[in-house]
Structure 1
Amino acid sequence: MNPTFFPNRPTRSIRLTALTGALALLACTASAQQMSRLAARGPQIVNAQGQPVVLRGVNVGGWLLQESYILKTDTLDCQRRIQQGLLRTMPEKDVEEFYRQYRAGFVTKADIDFIAKQGFNCVRLPFHYDLFLTQQQRWARTKALQSPKSDAALTAYVQTLSQWYDAGQLFTDLDQLDGIRAIDNVLGWCAADQLYVVLDLHAAPGGQGTDPNINDNFRPLDLWKRRDAKGRLIYQDVTVRLWEQLARRYKNDPRIAMYDLINEPHNLNAEHGLSADNQELSAFYSRLIDAVRAQKDEHLLLLEGNGYGNEYTNLTPDKLRVKDKTGLVYNSHRYWCPNDAQAADPNPNQINLVRNLAAFRDRWQVPVWVGETGENSNEWFAAAVQQLNAQNIGWCHWNLKRVDAGTSFLRVKPYGSILTAEGRAKLLQNSKFENCEVNRDALFALLQPADARQPFARHTLPATIPAAAYDLGRDGVAYHDTYSARIDYREHKPTNTGDQYRNDGVDIQASTEAGAGGYAVAHTEAGEWLSYTVTVPKAGQYALQLRATNSGPAPARLQLKLGEATVGTFTVAADPATTGWQTVAGGTASLPAGTHTLRLLVEQPGAVLGWLRFAETKAAAQGGQ
C-alpha cells in the first residue's frame, strides 16, 4: 500500500514513532511517580515521608546558555556576542541549525548517567529565556542583537515584546518550544537515575545584573530599569509570565526539586541608579512567589540574593510581602572565599561564608543551599564541601563540562575557534560525552574524605614514574604546595601556575620530554613534596634516577623518603644558560616488598621535574639513559 494515497493517515513509521514516544512518556511518568515531592520543614528539605534530603549535585552550565569562559571564547564575552560573530559569516538559519546541533549533543542522557554514577542526587539546569520564544520571536531578538549599540533597535524589540505580551502570544504552545523540550528531556533522563532537577532561569529577560556573560543582556540591569511605551517594567512582566507558564506545566511534577527564580542578581545598588537595600529585588521576588503559588504550585522556590546570590537585606522571610511564605529556600554561591569554619562576615545577611550560612538558616528556620560552588583548586573544593557536609548543607558543583579546564568533571578538548566551520564541527564532536576526558582528581576531591589518598596511576617497580603522576588527595595528604587554594576573589594568581593536566596546587606545565607523560612539575619551593604509591613485587635494591632541568642560580636538591627515612637524594646542577634536561643519579634504595608511599621532598628549589626512575640494580649496571 502506497501511503501517499492516504495523506491524512499516519504512515507506519510515524505510528511507530508516536508509539515509541508514548511508551517513553509512560516510562518517564512511572519514574516520576517513584520520586518523592520535596518540601521545606523548618530548616530542612524533606521528602513526602518527612525524611531530610540533602541535595548534592552538578550544574550543567554552558549548554542552554553559552558562557564564554566555559567554551574558551573569552574575548567574545557572552552568548550574544558569539551569535553576532556567527551572523557575520553565516545566514541566520545556519546559526539556528548550529545551536540546534549544539543543544542536541552538549548534554545528553550519557552525561546525566555519569552524574548519577558518581553518587550525586540532583542536577541544576541553567537556561536562557530566549529558548522559550518561538523561532520567529527569537528572530526579532536576533535582529536587535545584530545592532548592539542601536537604541532604536533595542526599543523596537522591547515594543515587539510588549505587543506579544499584551496579545498573550508569549510562552504558548509549550510543547513546540526548545526550552520545554530540553527541560522535558532532562527530567526524563534524571528520573531514570533518581536525580532531582533544579530549574534555573540563568539569563532572565533584560538581564539581572551587569555581567553580560551571565545575563546575556543588551544593556546592564534592564530587568530592573527598562520600561516599554506604556511605562511598564516589561522584562519583569515577561519573567512573571514565563514562571506562571512553567508552574502551570510542572506544578504536579515531583522530579523537580526547586525553581531557581533568578540567577545571581548583582550590582543592584545606588551606584547603578537603584536602591541600596534590595528594594527592587524584594518587590520582584514577592511578585514571582505570588505568581507561582497562584498556579497552585507548591514546589520549593529558591531565592538568590544580591551580589551574585549572597546578600539578603530586605529579602528575609519577615520582609517579603507575599501571601504564602512556605517552601522558600535561600541560596549562596561560594567562590574564592575562605573555608575556615570560624570565618564570619559582620553582615548577617551576607551568607557566602559557611558560618553565616548556617547562622542564617538557624535564625530564620529556612533551608539553605549552595547552588553554585567550584572554579577553584581541588584543595578548595575538598575543604568547602567538607564544611558544608558537616553542617548538612547541600551544594551543587559548577560545572559538569568546560573546554580544556580541570575544575569541571569533564574536560572538553580544545577545538579552535567557534567562528570557523572547522572549529564548530570540532566543538560539536569534542563536547560529546564519549569524547570528553574525566577529571578524576576533581571528582576525588569532592567525593572522598579529607584524609583520603589513592594512587593516581599504578606504579609497579621497576618503573619510570612521571613526576605529575603523584597520588590523588588533599594538600598535606597526597602532596604539599605553598599555594594550593584561592580564598580571596581579588587574588587572580592561579593555584596551578602551568594550568595543565591536574587541578591541585602543584604547578604543572606541558613538556615534550620522553618519559614525562607530556607534563612536568615546575615552580617548586622549599618544603613542597609529592607522594607516589608504589608496589614492590619483591624486596630488592633499586637504582634511583631523576630527570630534571634547573635554569636557576643555584643547585636544586631533593630527597626521596620512605616514611621518615631518606632512601635517595638528588642534586640538580644549576645551568642558567640553558633549560637542558639532566638525568641525575639519586643512589640506591633498599625497598621491602609490598605497597608503599614514597615522598619526593624539595629541599632546595629550582628544578623542573620530569620523571623518577626505579631500576633494578642489575639492569642499572648494564646501562640506561
Structure 2
Amino acid sequence: MKKLDSQRRRYPLRPTLYYCFLWLILLLPIPGKTQSLTMLRAEGGKTVDANGKEIVLRGFNVGGWLLQESYILKTDTLDSQARIRAGLLRTMPEKELEDFYAQYRAKFVTKADIDFVAAQGFNCVRLPFHYDLFLTREQRRARNLASRSPRNVAAYVQTLSQWYDQNQLFTDAKNLDGFRLIDDVLSWCAANKMYVILDLHAAPGGQGFDRNINDNFVPLDLWKRKDAKGRLIYQDITVRLWEKLAARYQKDPRVAMYDFINEPHKVNADNGLSNDNAEINVLYSRLINAVRGQGDKHLLLLEGNGYGNEYTNLTPDKLQIQDRSNLVYNAHRYWCPNDPAAADSNPNQINLLANLAAFRTKWQVPVWVGETGENSNEWFAGAVQGLNNQGIGWCHWNLKRVEGVTSLLRVRHYGSILTPEGRAALLRNVEFKQCIPNRDVIAALTGPATARTPFAPLSIPGTIHATDYDMGRNGIAYHDSYAERIDYRKEAPTNNGSVYRNDGIDIQMNTDKPSNGFAVGDMAAGEWINYTVTVAKAGAYTLQARVKNDSATPARLLVKLDDAPIGSLTVNQTQAAAPWVTVAVPMATLPAGRHTLTLYVEQPGASLSWLQFNSTTPTTQGGQ
C-alpha cells in the first residue's frame, strides 16, 4: 500500500447499544453463503469455481497486521517495521520484542474481525505478510542486527546464502509463525465461506524504494543484490518461499490466489535496471514455473511495475513460461478518476477502468483490483460502482487503522509504541471489541449508489449535531465542492479536518461545550447538508444554533424542511476569546413525521456545532 501522510485526531466510542446490535448481527447466519468453497480457475476473462460459476472477489485487506506499516499505526517518523523493531530493541531484549509481536499478531486480527467482514457481505480477504514470519526466531535475530546499521546488511545476505545452501529456510512448517497464521486465517474465512488471497507484501530484499511497504534495508535489493557466489540471492529465496507455500496449500480450495509480490516500484533505468520490466519478467517467470512445477493450479496474481499497475513485457505472451493458464492481472487504484471513459495512452497501464476492461478483453485474462481506498466515501462509491458494472473484483485497503476514517474499523489513539504504556494501550485498542466501525465507509462500499440513509436517529424537539448528517453520495446526502481526490498529485484532503466522517464535508475538532467534539466548517457558498429528522409533534419551534465566524464578513445559513425555508441564521464575526455563540431564530409551525432537514450555505464563513429545536419561541435574535 502506498504511504499517505496521515493527520488524524481522537475519536469517541460509539454507544454501547450499537455494539450490542453489532454482535447480534455477527451471530446471525449470512445469506447466500451456504455452498462450499471450490478451487477457482480462469475462464477467459472470468474467474469461476469448479462448477463453472463466475466468482467476483470483493473484500478487504488486513494490512498492518503481518507487516506493520508506520502510517497505519501512526508511527510515521519510524517509517517501517524494521525501524520500529530497532527502536524497540533500544529499550528491551529480543525475547521481549518477540513476545510483544506475538501478542500483537494474536490481537490485531482475530476470528471476530473476519466474522465482521463477512457480515458486511464481502467474500474474500487479502492477507499481506512479511517474509520474515517464515524465519525462525533465531533467524529473525540476524535480520534485527541488519536493521540496526547498513554495515550489517552484507553479513546478513551472506548468512541468508548459507541458510539457503544448507536448506535451512522455511523448513519447519509446524513452528514457523507464517504458516500458523495463514492456517488461522484460512480457517476463519472458510467458516464464513470466504476466500483468501496470499500476498507477499514484504519480499526478501524489498521490491521497491518505499520501506513502509516492503521493509527493505537497501532500495530495490530484490532486483539487484548478489551474494558472494554472484547469485541474485533474494530472488532465489523468494522462489523457495513460494515453493514451500505451494507445497503446503496446492490442493487447498480456501486459497483463491497467490499474489507473488506486492507493488514493485521504481524498477527502471533511473535506478540501474531496465526500462521494460525485464527483471520483473525473469522473476515472475521463475515463480510461475516453480509453482506449476509442483502441480499447483491456483490462480496466480501478477502485479505490474509502478505500484502494481504497469505491464510492459509482462503480458502472457512475453512471460518465459510453458503454462499460461490461471494467470490474473492486478491493479491498485488510488487517487485516480472513476470516469469509465477516462483512459491511459499506455494500454499496459491498467489502473483506470477503461484500461482494465480493455486489457482483460485483449489478453483474455481476469483482472482484479487488489487494493483500492484511501479516499473519500464519494470516491469509494464511484469506484465500487464502476468496478461492479464491469464485473471486476476489488479489495479495499484497509481493515484497521489507528484514528483512521477510511478503514472499515477505527483504532483509538494509544500513545507511543516505544513506551510500555503505549504498547499496552495498543494491544488493547486493536482488539475487535475496542474498534469503532466506520459505518459511513461500509455504506459507501456496500450500499446502492443513490442511497441516502440516516447516520444517527435525529428528533425534533432535540439537538442535531452538525456532523451527524445523512450517509450518501455527494449531491444526494450533501453537496461539497471538493468531495473526492482524483489526481494523485493533488494531496489536499477531501475532509479538511480528516476526522469523524469520511465525506467531502469538512469537519474539525471542537472543544466547545456542549458538543459531540466536532463541528462542520469551511462551508462554501452553495454547499448544503441533509439530515433525516422525525418531528414528534406538530407545532411552533425555536431554532437555536451553536456557531462561530472567524471572518469580518457576516455568514448566512438557510435552514429548510423538505425544501421549504424555515429559518435563516446570520452569523457575524465572533471573538477569538469566546468564538462560539448561540443564535436563536423564530420559525413557523413544523409538521409531524419524518422529514429532510437541509442546511444551505448562502454566505460562507460560519462553522456549525449543532442545531437545537425547542418549543419556546424567543422574539429576538442575539448571542451569548
Q: In structure 2, the residue corresponding to 1:174 is in which secondary structure? A: coil
Matches of residues 495-510 of structure 1 in structure 2 within 5 Å? 495-510=494-509
Displacement after TM superposition at 1:576 (Å):
6.2
Q: Measured at CA, do residues 450 and 589 of structure 1 come closer, stay the same or move farther in structure 2, by a change above 3 Å?
A: farther
Q: In structure 2, the residue corresponding to 1:111 is in which secondary structure? A: helix
Q: In structure 1, the residue corresponding to 2:358 is in which secondary structure? A: helix
Q: In structure 1, the residue corresponding to 2:174 is in which secondary structure? A: helix
Could you tell me how far apart the structure 1 residues matched to 2:617 and 2:545 are? 18
Answer yes or no: is 1:125 the counterpart of 2:127: yes
Tell me which residue corresponds to 2:309. Answer: 310
Could you tell me how far apart the structure 1 residues matched to 2:43 and 2:341 are? 27
Displacement after TM superposition at 1:180 (Å):
0.4
Q: In structure 1, the residue corresponding to 2:586 is in which secondary structure? A: strand
Could you tell me how far apart the structure 1 residues matched to 2:46 and 2:432 are? 34
Displacement after TM superposition at 1:198 (Å):
0.2
Tell me which residue corresponds to 1:425. Answer: 424
Equivalent pair of 2:558/2:600 in contact (CA under 8 Å): yes
Matches of residues 315-326 of structure 1 in structure 2 within 5 Å? 315-326=314-325
- Which deviations, in whole Å up to 9, do the C-alpha atoms of 1:62-91 show, x marking residues without a partner? 000000000000000000110110011111
Q: Measured at CA, do residues 336 and 579 of structure 1 come closer, stay the same or move farther in structure 2, by a change above 3 Å?
A: farther
Aligned partner of 2:42 among 27, 40, 61: 40
Could you tell me how far apart the structure 1 residues matched to 2:142 and 2:319 are? 36
Amino acid in the other structure paired with 2:243: E
Could you tell me how far apart the structure 1 residues matched to 2:99 and 2:122 are? 33
Q: In structure 1, the residue corresponding to 2:584 is in which secondary structure? A: strand
Q: Measured at CA, do residues 439 and 614 of structure 1 come closer, stay the same or move farther in structure 2, by a change above 3 Å?
A: same
Displacement after TM superposition at 1:579 (Å):
5.2
Equivalent pair of 1:572/1:582 in contact (CA under 8 Å): no
Amino acid in the other structure paired with 1:413: R
Could you tell me how far apart the structure 2 residues matched to 1:560 and 1:516 are? 20
Could you tell me how far apart the structure 2 residues matched to 1:361 and 1:595 are? 47
Equivalent pair of 2:574/2:580 in contact (CA under 8 Å): no
Structure 1 or 2, whichever has the larger Rg, is: 1
Displacement after TM superposition at 1:618 (Å):
6.6
Answer yes or no: is 1:88 the counterpart of 2:90: yes
- Which deviations, in whole Å up to 9, do the C-alpha atoms of 1:252-287 show, x marking residues without a partner? 000000000000000000000000010010111011
Tell me which residue corresponds to 2:108. Answer: 106
Q: In structure 1, the residue corresponding to 2:560 is in which secondary structure? A: strand
- Which deviations, in whole Å up to 9, do the C-alpha atoms of 1:381-425 show, x marking residues without a partner? 111111000101000000000000100011101111101111011
Matches of residues 390-401 of structure 1 in structure 2 within 5 Å? 390-401=389-400
Q: How many residues are aligned here?
A: 591
Could you tell me how far apart the structure 2 residues matched to 1:200 and 1:400 are? 15
Matches of residues 128-147 of structure 1 in structure 2 within 5 Å? 128-147=130-149
Answer yes or no: is 1:190 the counterpart of 2:192: no
Q: In structure 1, the residue corresponding to 2:529 is in which secondary structure? A: strand
Could you tell me how far apart the structure 1 residues matched to 2:372 and 2:336 are? 10
Could you tell me how far apart the structure 2 residues matched to 1:178 and 1:470 are? 45
Could you tell me how far apart the structure 2 residues matched to 1:382 and 1:178 are? 37
Equivalent pair of 1:32/1:254 in contact (CA under 8 Å): no
TM-score (norm 1): 0.93
Tell me which residue corresponds to 1:470. Answer: 469
Q: In structure 2, the residue corresponding to 1:590 is in which secondary structure? A: strand
Tell me which residue corresponds to 2:17. Answer: none
Could you tell me how far apart the structure 2 residues matched to 1:259 and 1:549 are? 54
Could you tell me how far apart the structure 2 residues matched to 1:116 and 1:620 are? 54
Equivalent pair of 1:475/1:484 in contact (CA under 8 Å): yes
Over the residues paired in the alignment, what is the CA RMSD in angstroms? Answer: 1.6
Displacement after TM superposition at 1:512 (Å):
2.0
Q: Measured at CA, do residues 32 and 456 of structure 1 come closer, stay the same or move farther in structure 2, by a change above 3 Å?
A: closer
Matches of residues 32-431 of structure 1 in structure 2 within 5 Å? 34-147=36-149, 149-150=150-151, 153-431=152-430
Structure 1: gaps (5+ residues):
1-30
Displacement after TM superposition at 1:33 (Å):
9.7
Could you tell me how far apart the structure 2 residues matched to 1:566 and 1:214 are? 52
Displacement after TM superposition at 1:568 (Å):
1.1
Equivalent pair of 1:544/1:585 in contact (CA under 8 Å): yes
Could you tell me how far apart the structure 2 residues matched to 1:130 and 1:257 are? 23
Displacement after TM superposition at 1:588 (Å):
0.8
Matches of residues 10-21 of structure 1 in structure 2 within 5 Å? none
Tell me which residue corresponds to 1:22. Answer: none
The 10-residue stretch of structure 1 (592-601 or 182-191) with the greater mean CA deviation from structure 2: 592-601
Tell me which residue corresponds to 1:481. Answer: 480
Equivalent pair of 2:369/2:393 in contact (CA under 8 Å): yes
Could you tell me how far apart the structure 2 residues matched to 1:178 and 1:578 are? 56
Could you tell me how far apart the structure 1 residues matched to 2:202 and 2:588 are? 60
Equivalent pair of 2:586/2:619 in contact (CA under 8 Å): no
Amino acid in the other structure paired with 2:185: V
TM-score (norm 2): 0.93
Amino acid in the other structure paired with 2:220: L
Answer yes or no: is 1:538 the counterpart of 2:537: yes
Displacement after TM superposition at 1:516 (Å):
2.5
Answer yes or no: is 1:595 the counterpart of 2:597: no
Could you tell me how far apart the structure 2 residues matched to 1:314 and 1:571 are? 63
Could you tell me how far apart the structure 1 residues matched to 2:614 and 2:215 are? 57
Tell me which residue corresponds to 2:493. Answer: 494
Q: In structure 2, the residue corresponding to 1:34 is in which secondary structure? A: coil
Q: In structure 2, the residue corresponding to 1:85 is in which secondary structure? A: helix
Q: In structure 1, the residue corresponding to 2:288 is in which secondary structure? A: helix
- Which deviations, in whole Å up to 9, do the C-alpha atoms of 1:413-452 show, x marking residues without a partner? 1111101111011000000000011111111111111110
Equivalent pair of 1:126/1:202 in contact (CA under 8 Å): yes
Displacement after TM superposition at 1:578 (Å):
5.0
Equivalent pair of 2:584/2:618 in contact (CA under 8 Å): no
Could you tell me how far apart the structure 1 residues matched to 2:199 and 2:585 are? 56
Displacement after TM superposition at 1:562 (Å):
2.1
Equivalent pair of 1:197/1:257 in contact (CA under 8 Å): yes
Q: Measured at CA, do residues 141 and 33 of structure 1 come closer, stay the same or move farther in structure 2, by a change above 3 Å?
A: farther
Could you tell me how far apart the structure 2 residues matched to 1:505 and 1:412 are? 22
Identical-residue share of aligned pairs (%):
67
Displacement after TM superposition at 1:41 (Å):
0.2
Displacement after TM superposition at 1:550 (Å):
0.6
Amino acid in the other structure paired with 2:74: K
Equivalent pair of 1:464/1:515 in contact (CA under 8 Å): no
- Which deviations, in whole Å up to 9, do the C-alpha atoms of 1:448-483 show, x marking residues without a partner? 111101111101210111111111111111111111
Equivalent pair of 1:385/1:446 in contact (CA under 8 Å): yes
Could you tell me how far apart the structure 1 residues matched to 2:587 and 2:127 are? 56
Could you tell me how far apart the structure 1 residues matched to 2:576 and 2:283 are? 64
Equivalent pair of 1:549/1:579 in contact (CA under 8 Å): no
Could you tell me how far apart the structure 2 residues matched to 1:156 and 1:77 are? 23
Q: Measured at CA, do residues 585 and 32 of structure 1 come closer, stay the same or move farther in structure 2, by a change above 3 Å?
A: closer
Tell me which residue corresponds to 2:8. Answer: none
Q: In structure 1, the residue corresponding to 2:468 is in which secondary structure? A: coil
Displacement after TM superposition at 1:624 (Å):
12
Tell me which residue corresponds to 1:455. Answer: 454
Displacement after TM superposition at 1:135 (Å):
1.1
Amino acid in the other structure paired with 1:125: L
Amino acid in the other structure paired with 1:316: T
Could you tell me how far apart the structure 1 residues matched to 2:229 and 2:183 are? 36
Tell me which residue corresponds to 1:15. Answer: none
Amino acid in the other structure paired with 2:71: Y
Equivalent pair of 1:332/1:370 in contact (CA under 8 Å): yes
Displacement after TM superposition at 1:514 (Å):
2.7
Displacement after TM superposition at 1:585 (Å):
2.0
The 10-residue stretch of structure 1 (576-585 or 79-88) with the greater mean CA deviation from structure 2: 576-585
Equivalent pair of 1:198/1:256 in contact (CA under 8 Å): yes
Could you tell me how far apart the structure 1 residues matched to 2:59 and 2:526 are? 36
Q: In structure 2, the residue corresponding to 1:110 is in which secondary structure? A: helix
Q: In structure 2, the residue corresponding to 1:217 is in which secondary structure? A: coil
Q: Measured at CA, do residues 32 and 531 of structure 1 come closer, stay the same or move farther in structure 2, by a change above 3 Å?
A: closer
